[in-house]
């Protein structure tokens, strides 16, 4: 890997005697990691040879494995995992992940919230927001709204609203050079300062949305002081915030001039590059005008079709607001202001689709529900799993009555499918299908 001369000179000055080891680390392979999903009913019994981090595991997980497809595991680079670990929201909190794609931070935050509270997961890029939705649906969370907005437009709806905001800010990406060498092509000596101006713009909007006594977690995947410690100083100078100390574990080191913050260097930390700072907000704000909430918009026929399906197939209590978009039915979490003017990528939990005179449950609902929340469930083997994800129908017991069943593999849901005369029809989404070969 060939690093820019300006980059080398900058970090020779910044790191001094540690610079040679730092530069040598760029010739090593990137480090992979993964987390497990506590929202899933059946957990994984890991081989004792799998190397553990203090909070998760090192190694790679196949995107075609049962564990990945059912959402039991989520692949995430070790340094990136520190952001969610530092945030550690409590159940019941209202949380905003302001730059969320592809979903690693959001799913980590949802692990802490445990379907109690609210996560607004935002991604300004429409293309990347689709990937975010897919990853959140696989995770099986229910209390999450995915938006596709600028921070400024969100602030117009969520003033003084969130107990915690996480901004893993768009940055110069120096910490990803080893994992994504193409990022080197975008780097220049002026790039970190340019990114810092964008970061301040986003943070101004974030502070408008932070409730009194709320917490802000700010992070980047770069080592540039312009985007890290200088942003920390800017926040301290302009807002009533104080730094919260981040314990330095697993090779993390103190930030430059701010011992409360944390840096991750690949020659010290087994992972890529990251910077994290945590703030407690002490400012007081004028009480905001109470905003109009959200209402159910189902017509009489839609209500009846949903009730017929839920009473006949579910033991799940839909706590939230039922809203239909086109023919798609969603369960919007309680406690949100009026979101009708926002661009929405996922309006809560996708329950299913209204067809002519019937309702069909969604793949997302089948991923989210546990065995005690459905009336009918069919467990398939791992061998049948690979047939099913390839689009094949499966033979099941002829004793099963016809109707909708939650499909389960290794104890976790894999969507819904219809059983008809001893055949499990295939409802695995066509866009997600793959062959095991």
Residues with a known catalytic role: 221
Q: Is 102 annotated as a binding residue?
A: yes
Using CA atoms, how far residue 75 sits from 59, 139, 219, 434, in Å, is: 9, 12, 19, 19
Local structure of residue 399 (DSSP, 8 states): T
Give ∠ CA 274-279-281 in degrees, rounded to 5: 155
- The span from the CA of 100 to the CA of 129, in Å, is 8
Show the tokens assigned to 351: 């329950």
Q: Is 32 annotated as a binding residue?
A: no
Q: Is 71 annotated as a binding residue?
A: no
Q: Is 418 annotated as a binding residue?
A: no
Closest CA to 148 of 170, 129, 173, 167: 129
- The span from the CA of 412 to the CA of 41, in Å, is 6
Q: Is 273 annotated as a binding residue?
A: no
Q: Is 89 annotated as a binding residue?
A: no
Using CA atoms, how far residue 21 sits from 15, 17, 27, 390, in Å, is: 10, 8, 10, 47
φ/ψ of 424, rounded to 5, equals -90, 110
Give me the DSSP letters along 31-73. PPEEEE-TTSSS-----TTSPBPSSSEES---TTSHHHHTTSE
Q: Among the residues of 314-423, which ranges form H helices?
A: 363-368, 382-388
Radius of gyration for the chain, computed over Cα atoms and rounded to the nearest angstrom: 23
Closest CA to 370 of 345, 406, 341, 340: 406
Q: Is 101 annotated as a binding residue?
A: yes
Q: Is 123 annotated as a binding residue?
A: yes
In the three-class reduction of DSSP (H, G, I as helix; E, B as strand; rest coil), residue 165 is classed as: strand
Q: Is 341 annotated as a binding residue?
A: no
> Long-range contacts: 124-130, Cβ < 8 Å, 24+?
124/99, 124/148, 124/149, 124/150, 124/151, 125/101, 126/345, 128/101, 128/102, 129/101, 129/345, 130/345
Q: Please list the residues that pair with 11 across neighbouring strands.
A: none
Asked if 345 and 300 touch (Cβ cutoff 8 Å), the reply is: no
Asked if 135 and 154 touch (Cβ cutoff 8 Å), the reply is: no
In the three-class reduction of DSSP (H, G, I as helix; E, B as strand; rest coil), residue 219 is classed as: strand
Q: How many Cβ atoms are within 10 Å of 93's Cβ, its own excluded?
A: 20
Asked if 167 and 203 touch (Cβ cutoff 8 Å), the reply is: yes
In the three-class reduction of DSSP (H, G, I as helix; E, B as strand; rest coil), residue 101 is classed as: coil
Residues at the binding site for S-adenosyl-L-methionine are 99-105, 123, 168
Residues at the binding site are 99-105, 123, 168
């Amino acid at each position: 890997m060939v690093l820019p001369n300006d980059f080398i000179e900058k970090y020779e000055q910044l790191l001094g005697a540690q610079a040679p080891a730092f530069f040598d680390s760029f010739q090593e392979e990137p480090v992979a990691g993964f987390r497990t999903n506590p929202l899933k009913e059946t957990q994984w019994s890991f081989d004792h040879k799998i190397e553990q981090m203090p909070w998760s595991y090192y190694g790679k997980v196949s995107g075609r494995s049962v564990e990945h497809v059912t959402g039991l595991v989520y692949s995430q680079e070790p340094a990136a995992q520190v952001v969610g670990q530092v945030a550690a929201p409590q159940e019941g909190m209202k949380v905003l992940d302001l730059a969320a794609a592809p979903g690693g931070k959001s799913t980590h935050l949802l692990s802490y919230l445990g379907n109690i509270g609210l996560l607004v997961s935002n991604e300004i890029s429409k293309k990347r927001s689709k990937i975010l939705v897919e990853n959140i649906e696989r995770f099986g969370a229910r209390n999450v709204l995915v938006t596709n907005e600028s921070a400024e437009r969100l602030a117009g709806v969520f003033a003084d609203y969130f107990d915690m905001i996480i901004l893993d800010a768009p940055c110069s990406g120096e910490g990803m050079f080893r994992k994504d060498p193409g990022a080197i092509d975008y780097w220049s000596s002026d790039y970190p300062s340019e990114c810092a101006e964008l970061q301040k713009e986003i943070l101004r909007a974030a502070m408008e949305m932070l409730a009194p006594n709320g917490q802000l977690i700010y992070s980047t995947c770069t080592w540039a002081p312009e985007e890290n410690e200088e942003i920390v100083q800017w926040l301290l100078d302009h807002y009533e915030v104080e730094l919260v100390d981040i314990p330095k574990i697993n090779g993390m080191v103190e930030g430059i001039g701010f011992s409360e913050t944390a840096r991750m260097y690949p020659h010290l930390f087994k992972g890529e590059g990251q910077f994290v700072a945590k703030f407690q907000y002490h400012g007081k704000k004028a009480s905001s005008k109470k905003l109009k909430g959200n209402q159910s918009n189902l017509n009489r026929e839609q209500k009846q079709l949903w009730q017929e399906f839920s009473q006949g197939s579910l033991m799940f209590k839909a706590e939230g607001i039922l809203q239909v978009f086109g023919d798609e039915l969603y369960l919007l979490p309680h406690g949100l202001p009026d979101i009708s003017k926002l661009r929405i990528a996922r309006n809560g939990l996708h329950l299913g689709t209204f067809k002519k005179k019937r309702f069909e449950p969604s793949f997302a609902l089948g991923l989210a529900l546990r065995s005690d929340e459905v009336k009918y469930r069919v467990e398939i083997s791992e061998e049948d799993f690979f047939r099913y994800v390839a689009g094949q129908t499966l033979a099941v017991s002829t004793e099963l009555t016809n109707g909708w069943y939650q499909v389960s593999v290794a104890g976790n849901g894999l969507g819904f499918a219809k059983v008809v005369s001893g055949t499990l029809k295939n409802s695995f989404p066509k866009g997600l299908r793959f062959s095991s070969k």
